[in-house]
Structure formats: C-alpha cells, structure tokens
Amino acid sequence: MVSNPLTRNIDLSRQPFDLAAYEAVDGYRGLREIARGLEPSDVLDKVRDSGLKGRGGAGFPTGLKWSFVPMGDDAPKQKYFVVNADEMEPGTFKDRLLMEGDPHLLIDGMIIASYAIQANTAYIFLRGEYTESERILRKALAEAHERGYLGNNILDTGFDLDIILHTSAGRYICGEETALLNALEGRRANPRAKPPFPQVSGLWGKPTIVNNVETICNLPGIMAWGNDWYRGLTKGNDHGTKLFGVSGKVRSPGCWELPLGTPIRELMEVYAGGMRDGLELKGFLPGGGSTDFMLPEHLDLNLDYDDIAGAGSRLATGTMIVLDNQTCPVGMIGNLMTFFSHESCGYCTPCRDGLPWVDEIFRAFEAGKGSHRDLAILEEHVDYLGPGKTFCALAPGATAPLGSGLRYFREDFERHISEQRCPYRQ
Amino acid sequence: MWIGREQGVNTADNQLIASTTVAAGYLREAEIAEIEHERTLYPDARAVGLEALKIVQKHRGWVSDESLRAVAEYLRLPIAELEGVATFFNLIYRRPVGRHVILHCNSVSCWIMGCEQVKDRIADELGIDFGETTADGDFTLIPVPCLGDCDRAPVMMVGSDQHRNLDRADLGAIFAQYRKGTE
C-alpha cells in the first residue's frame, strides 16, 4: 500500500507529472467516484471520518469545518472554495514542495472539496513570490480543463467548477483566512471579525471554505484508498502523514513526509542528519515562527498535535527551525520580532504599536543597551499581545517564541545586559 | 484646457477632472487587455484593483501616481482606496525600481544561515543598501519575508528567479546574468 500519499509522485530532479502520468498512478479517482454517483454528503462523511486535521497551522478538523457550510435547496447557490497557498510562515517550506512537485494532487483535492460543499468557483490564493509554483500550476490547470475535469458539467455529473489562480503581492497577514478573503476581494488585507464565520458568510458574503494546500493534498488518497488505509498510516493519535521540515545548522536540512506520531528525534537525527560538526542543539521551533520553543529534552516526544501541545508548543506547520549553541537566541527571537512587527496589518493597537516596541527593545539588546527594565517590558508584552488581547492571531503568534524564549534562554538575555554586548558576536 | 464633463464645477475640480480624463487614455492596449481578462475572473471591479496594479507594474516597472490614478479611473474605484491597497502590499512598488528587483530573504532560517553576511556581500558587489538602486538602474535591493526555501538558505530572488545556498554562491556571477546586454 501507498505509505507516502503526499509525496509519492514528487521527484524534483524532473518535471512534475502531467495529467496522464498522474492519472496512471490512481490520480483523480475521487472524481471518478463522484461521476459514479457519490453524493456531496458522502464525500463530507468520508473526510470527517478520516480524522484529517488542517495542516496550515491551527489543526482544526477539516470535515467539521466543511460541515458548517449551509447545504441543500435553501442554501445560497453561490459558494466558494479557496486554497490558502500564501505560505509565508517563517521557516516553512512545505506547500511549495507540493505545488511544484505534484500540481495535479492539489487540483484533484480541490475538485473533491469543491464538490463536497457544492462550490462552483474555487480560488488558489498563491504567494506572489512563488513564481515557479505559478508556472507549474497554470500548466496543470490548463491540462485539467482540457481533459474536462474542470469547466461545465464535469464528466456528466452536472457539477461545474472553475479554478482560478490568484497571485498575491506579499503580506503575511493574508495567511489569516478572513484577511485572505479581504485580499481576494481587492481590499486591504485586514482580518474580519468572527462571527460570521467564512463557512456561512465569506468571500463576497457567500459561504466559503478556506483550506491549506497540504490539507487538500490529503483528500485524493482518502478518496482513493479509504479511511482504514488512512488511519493505518499514522504512528500516533492523529491520522495520516504530514510533511515535516528541518532548517538551520543541521547536516541535511530538508522536508520529508512522515507518519504523524514519528519521534521528533528520528526527524532531527535520522532525516536531518543531526547537528553539524561542532554544534549542539540548543532549542527548536517545532512548526514555524509562531510556535513556542522546545528543548533538547523534548526530542523523545512524538510529532503529534497533543504531544507537542503537552510541551507547551504547537505542531502547527511541522517545519522545525533549529537553534544551535553558537547562534544567539536573543538575535533569533529579535529577527522574528522584526518580521512580526513588519507584517502587522496595523488594524488593532496592541499589535500595531506593541510589536514595534518589542522589536526596538531587541535592537537595543543587540547594541548592548538592553536593561532589566526592558526585560520587564518584554515580559509584559507576552501578556499584552497574547491570545484574546488582539484582533487576530498574528501578535499572539509572536508571543510564542518571545514568551518561551524569555523563559528558556533567560541567561542569554541576562548576559546581553551584564556584558553590554551580544556574547555570541566575536 | 477645459475638459470638464459637468457644467458648474469650480476651477479646482475642472483641473482634477482634466487630469483624470487624461489619465484614462494613459493605459496601453496590452495593459487594458490583461486587465479585462482579470475582470472575467472576479465578480466585481474592486477585486481586479490589485491585479491591475500588478499588470501596470509589470509593463512599467513600478506604480506611479499617474498609473495609480489611471487604474482607479479605469476601474471606477476610489483613488484613496486603491492607494490603500497599493501601499499595503510588499510587492507593489510606489517608487521607481531598477530593471531587476533583488528580494533578499532575511527571515529566521536565512538569518541563522548567514543572510546578514550575504547582504553585506550584495552591498559590496553592487554598492547598494535596502531600498536603493544601482546607478546604472540595473538592480534595486529590498528585504522580503521568508521565501519558503529554508532547507536551501540563505536565498534571494532576482526578478522572478530564486537563487539558493547563497553562502557558497558566486554573487558576482549571478548578478552578471542580469546585467544589461547579457540577458
């Protein structure tokens, strides 16, 4: 049986599979099932039963999210399905691999998802900087259209679907699903108040589902090989496989598809090859820039949503950023604060004014001018910018590496103050 | 010259109308064709605004006040609203840029892997800092958030091309590919 449904067709040393090659390896089987009479509710049930959780960061159950979309004769005729391909979480490089490695997998999944909620228009919201992804996706979309898998009355099902590739112009906040909807509508990408949730009132006020690229790439396998197979993929509590990446000063940085529940140590030491010679692991962010630091003592935990939550962090995007013992943790956190400060949309005050303040304090530490009073102000911001204090999750995301960094690397902050310089710089 | 479309407007308004009417003839045929194609993909004109700015930028290198006004006029969008969108996004350039924009990734993985040294080397090679353009107009250097290639950090884009593992790359050779006359 297939054990790597997300990456089985990916080989970056050649061009990705075209439609015929993709179909030859069980591609578009979900669509064929639909043509044989599978109802939208059957697809929803199947996805709900699979236990698939969103792979964009929040880990929300995908089937549950879909189930909030109004269905039936009284539901609005116009609905939208949107793929969030605005990959910009610092240290995250997994959706690019999927789009550039196997574009038909994403289109296959999008057809299944759009059919389940009966959306006739779907958008791929792609990062503007991903020019290679754009080229590859445009080619694949044209093939799918030509083959009759997109367009009107697909395979005589009476179901119509157009997929439109939208390229953005670069802002991290567009990854927040309601900000993404504003951006697609041509507005400034400020997040929206919830409720109403997009599932009920989203793009142009119509029911809309927004799912991450990797989430959608799970669907073709679930449709083709079923839930017993899907559940059997895992080594842990959550079902399926996931892309896991490692960047930083390890021997072989990269991105691999592994069963959920794989030990973190295996990812770090077997796949990424361990630390480069002469370096030791000091800590790591397990799922991108807005997750809490974890420590070497956590290596024996598993790559599982609950396990990592138990260590006070989040699996999130599953792409780990490794901090070694010769890289300054204060500098690393400061780099993240510059990012979050720059990418704040400016809508709510704590985020707009708090993050630049935090960033400025990190510049002071860098310049050897940090004080204990500054440290206290940073501590306060972990609370002031935390969950529930801001309009969306951007600033709380920033407090994850900030708060955990202050806790775990206190001594490094103290040394910046007492030595009046960065002790890591020669 | 008086090109006011309504009678009874004061002189200041006349001038504004005159300038926007001129702006409507400002968009080129190719730009209009691409904007009209985008219009078929979205239910309203507002959603086309950002796309139209990107189209104009593709043809002219950047979005001048005149370009912005022309797009707003063409799509019948409030100028202030379109300007709000233009200035929100990192990749809309409201100031002139060089023929090739260098997007230097300075997010966390690239930082750990030495993007600051790469930036110093770019500065040595081209003599420009962030936000600056080389005297010959070939390159503009801009920082960009995570380019999503973290296992091959440090990285940058030049135009639409991604360049990876820059810690061991010959930057001079990379830039030479883009110099005028060598493309």
Please indicate if any CB of chain A lies within 8 Å of the CB of B94: no
pLDDT in tens, B58-79: 999 999 999 999 999 999 999 9
**CB nearest B47 (choices: A186, A327, A343):** A186
Cα B107 off chain centre by: 21
Counting Cα atoms < 13 Å in the Cβ hemisphere of A352 gives 7
Please indicate if any CB of chain A lies within 8 Å of the CB of B58: no
Please choose, from the candidates A361, A364, A327, the residue with its C-alpha nearest in 3D space to the C-alpha of residue A341. Answer: A361
Residue A33: partners with Cβ closer than 8 Å, 6 or more residues away = A223
Please indicate if any CB of chain A lies within 8 Å of the CB of B131: no
Q: In this model, does residue B4 exceed pLDDT 90? A: no
Please indicate if any CB of chain A lies within 8 Å of the CB of B75: no
CATH superfamily of B100-176: Glutaredoxin (3.40.30.10)
Q: Do A186 and B42 lie within an 8 Å CB cutoff?
A: yes
Distance from A350 to chain B by nearest Cα, in Å? 19
By three-state DSSP, how is residue A126 classified? strand
pLDDT bucket at B23, cuts 50 / 70 / 90: low
Terminal Cα distance for chain B, rounded: 44
**Residues of chain A positioned with their CB less than 8 A from the CB of B92:** 169
The whole-number average pLDDT for the span B98-116 is 98
- According to DSSP, residue A287 is labeled T
Task: Judge residue A213's burial from the number of C-beta atoms within 10 Å of its C-beta, 0-12 exposed, 13-18 middle, 19 or more buried.
Answer: buried
Q: Do residues A236 and A307 lie in contact, with contact meaning Cβ atoms separated by under 8 Å?
A: yes
Residue of A nearest to B81 (CA): A187
Residue ranges per structural domain of chain A:
19-231, 234-324, 329-419
**What residues 265-324 of chain A have any CB closer than 8 A to a CB of chain B?**
285, 289, 319, 321-324
Residue of B nearest to A253 (CA): B151
Q: How far is B154 from B125, CA to CA, in rounded Å?
A: 17
Q: Do B50 and A130 lie within an 8 Å CB cutoff?
A: no
Q: How far is A45 from A41, CA to CA, in rounded Å?
A: 6
Residue B183, pLDDT score: 52
Q: Do A130 and B148 lie within an 8 Å CB cutoff?
A: yes
Burial readout B70-103 (b: 16 or more C-beta within 10 A, e: otherwise): bbbbbbebeeeebbebbebbbbbbbeebbbbbbb
**CB nearest B147 (choices: A129, A167, A204):** A129
**Residues of chain B positioned with their CB less than 8 A from the CB of A184:** 47
**Residues of chain A positioned with their CB less than 8 A from the CB of B112:** 247-249, 321-324, 327, 332
**What residues 139-198 of chain A have any CB closer than 8 A to a CB of chain B?**
164, 166-172, 183-189
Please indicate if any CB of chain B lies within 8 Å of the CB of A100: no
- DSSP element (H, E) containing A139: helix A131-146
**Residues of chain A positioned with their CB less than 8 A from the CB of B43:** 204
**What residues 102-131 of chain A have any CB closer than 8 A to a CB of chain B?**
127-131
Please indicate if any CB of chain A lies within 8 Å of the CB of B146: yes
Q: Do residues A81 and A202 lie in contact, with contact meaning Cβ atoms separated by under 8 Å?
A: no
Q: Which strands make up the sheet holding A281-285, listed edge to edge?
A: A254-259, A241-247, A319-324, A281-285
Tell which of B110, B112, B116 to mutate to test the A interface (max A CBs under 10 Å).
Answer: B112
**Residues of chain A positioned with their CB less than 8 A from the CB of B90:** 169-171
Q: Do A131 and B144 lie within an 8 Å CB cutoff?
A: no
Query: Which CATH number is A234-324's, of 3.20.20.140, 3.10.20.600, 3.40.50.850, 3.40.640.10?
Result: 3.10.20.600
Q: Is the sign of the CA dihedral A386, A179, A285, B121 positive or negative?
A: negative
Q: In this model, does residue B3 exceed pLDDT 70? A: no
Please choose, from the candidates A30, A49, A21, the residue with its C-alpha nearest in 3D space to the C-alpha of residue A157. Answer: A30
Tell which of A82, A93, A136 to mutate to test the B interface (max B CBs under 10 Å).
Answer: A93
pLDDT in tens, B140-154: 999 999 999 999 999
Those residues of chain A that have pLDDT short of 50 are none
Residue A158: partners with Cβ closer than 8 Å, 6 or more residues away = none
Which tokens belong to A393?
């999750």
Single-letter residue type at A179: A
Q: In this model, does residue B133 exceed pLDDT 80? A: yes
Q: In this model, does residue B18 exceed pLDDT 70? A: no
Q: In this model, does residue B82 exceed pLDDT 60? A: yes
Please choose, from the candidates A88, A90, A401, A95, the residue with its C-alpha nearest in 3D space to the C-alpha of residue B90. Answer: A88
Q: How far is A142 from A139, CA to CA, in rounded Å?
A: 5
Q: How far is A364 from A357, CA to CA, in rounded Å?
A: 11
Single-letter residue type at A423: P
Q: Which residue is associated with the tokens 């069963």?
A: A259
Residue A147: partners with Cβ closer than 8 Å, 6 or more residues away = A19
- DSSP element (H, E) containing B81: helix B79-86
Residues shown for chain B: 183
Residue ranges per structural domain of chain B:
11-86, 100-176
Where helices occur in B40-166 by DSSP H, the ranges are 49-60, 65-75, 79-86, 108-112, 115-126
Please indicate if any CB of chain B lies within 8 Å of the CB of A343: yes
Radius of gyration (Cα) for chain B, nearest Å? 20
Residue A59, pLDDT score: 87
Residue of B nearest to A174 (CA): B89
Which tokens belong to B89?
């996004």
Please indicate if any CB of chain A lies within 8 Å of the CB of B127: no
Distance from A53 to chain B by nearest Cα, in Å? 22
Phi/psi at A314 (nearest 5 deg)? Answer: -140, 140
CATH classification of A19-231 is 3.40.50.11540, yes or no? yes
* Number of CB atoms found within 10 A of residue A206's CB: 17
Q: Do residues A244 and A318 lie in contact, with contact meaning Cβ atoms separated by under 8 Å?
A: yes
Q: Do A91 and B109 lie within an 8 Å CB cutoff?
A: yes
- DSSP element (H, E) containing A83: strand A80-85
Q: Do A129 and B144 lie within an 8 Å CB cutoff?
A: yes
**What residues 10-29 of chain A have any CB closer than 8 A to a CB of chain B?**
none
**Mind giving me the DSSP string for A166-235?**
EE----GGGGSHHHHHHHHTTS--PPPPSSSPTTTS-GGGS-EEEEEHHHHHTHHHHHHHHHHHHHHT-S
Tell which of A247, A251, A252, A332 to mutate to test the B interface (max B CBs under 10 Å).
Answer: A247
CB pairs under 8 A between A and B: 132
| CATH dotted code for A329-419 | 1.20.1440.230
Residue A337, pLDDT score: 98
Please choose, from the candidates A26, A17, A9, A23, the residue with its C-alpha nearest in 3D space to the C-alpha of residue A222. Answer: A26
Q: How far is A365 from A416, CA to CA, in rounded Å?
A: 6
Q: Do residues A133 and A92 lie in contact, with contact meaning Cβ atoms separated by under 8 Å?
A: no
Terminal Cα distance for chain A, rounded: 53
Q: Do B106 and A335 lie within an 8 Å CB cutoff?
A: yes
* Number of CB atoms found within 10 A of residue A195's CB: 9
**Residues of chain B positioned with their CB less than 8 A from the CB of A248:** 109, 112-113
Residues shown for chain A: 426
Please indicate if any CB of chain A lies within 8 Å of the CB of B41: yes
Residue B6, pLDDT score: 40
Q: Do residues A118 and A40 lie in contact, with contact meaning Cβ atoms separated by under 8 Å?
A: yes
Q: How far is A96 from B43, CA to CA, in rounded Å?
A: 28
